[in-house]
Amino acid sequence: MSDMKALVDQFPAQLREAIVIGEKFSMTKPSKEIRNILITGLGGSGIGGTIVSEIVFNECKVPVTVNKNYFVPAFVNDESLVIVCSYSGNTEETLQAMELAMEKNAKIICITSGGKVAEIAKAKNLDHIMIPGGLPPRACIGYSLTQLFYVFVAGGFAGKHIIDELKTSVELIENEKSSILKEANSLTEFFLNKIPVIYAVDGYNGVATRFRQQINENSKMLCWHHILPEMNHNELVGWTEKHDELAVIILRSDNDYARTQSRIEISKSVFSKYAGVRECYSKGKSQVERSIYLIHLTDWVSVLLAEKKQIDATEVNIINHLKGELSKI
């Protein structure tokens, strides 16, 4: 079993370990009432922010913004909670955003395995959660995503039910392991030698983005994704000719909003005229469970594609090249 494949296989165990870590977190009282939340981080460290912001959408009483930039929005001030997510602790964009948030006297909470983020957090006595290091950031979403849930619950921005749902999601993917692998193998054959096109409903943008990123990094393939209903107002018009090089997957749930389900059915009839189409239904009773299920399933697809292509899913030489070139500037 390849390193990345083994890490995907260990995802349930990682979630269990992350829950143990999260249970120990306590948030120090902010100097002022929190009126907005900014989650800042990129790549495998930042995607958890997108997923969590969608899951808490219907219950968090303050606006949540996800930031993937060197800078922070103008609204950040001493009434802001800024959650800094950097697995390595050395992501240059996140470090600069962190410094700017500190200058604005925001309440800072760091989620990291070490590096400069940990050094600053300890030196400035900032709230921080340390997670195990030494792994590719994209293989550690179980650690980072879980800690974000605990931060939101600790701050009173989400109910404790989210933690309960997280725990049952681990049981779900463990119990469904054989069916997950069966569907992942089938989808791998569907995507092989194709360009994947990923569609999902609003609320699962983070999950779809994660799938795209995993295809990019693990499978070393280009692909794209879009969200319904938004794509019905633009991208749908582009489906006008045959594309044998494309393979469309629609990530769905039985409880998707009825009008959106109708949109999916109509859109699917358009896609199927021009490319192969598959649907993938989530499992689980809550959005947390359904999201975890789809993350695990699609992670498997990305590493199985790498295996079929006989390439190293772990390798990210081009990103290392980019960082090396940037270090010279």
Catalytic positions, written as ranges? 217, 233, 323
Tokens 């090089």 found at: 245
Question: How many Cβ atoms sit within 10 Å of the Cβ of residue 162?
Answer: 21
Q: Round to whole Å and give the CA distance between 74 and 49.
A: 19
Token output for 319: 């990103």
Token output for 79: 């009434």
For residue 291, what are the CA distances in angstroms to 38, 151, 170, 203, 208?
Answer: 21, 19, 11, 9, 10
Q: Phi and psi dihedrals of 291, rounded to 5?
A: -65, -45
Per the DSSP assignment, residues forming a β-bridge with 281 are 252
Question: How many Cβ atoms sit within 10 Å of the Cβ of residue 137?
Answer: 24
What is residue 102's three-state secondary structure? helix
Q: Round to whole Å and give the CA distance between 193 and 223.
A: 12
Contact 249, 305 (CB under 8 A): no
Token output for 257: 């909003």
Tokens 């009282």 found at: 29
Per the DSSP assignment, residues forming a β-bridge with 66 are 39
Token output for 301: 């697809």
Token output for 245: 């090089």
Peptide bond just before 136 cis, omega within 30 deg? no
Contact 120, 126 (CB under 8 A): yes
First and final CA of the chain: distance in angstroms? 39
Q: Pairing between strand 246-252 and 224-228?
A: unpaired
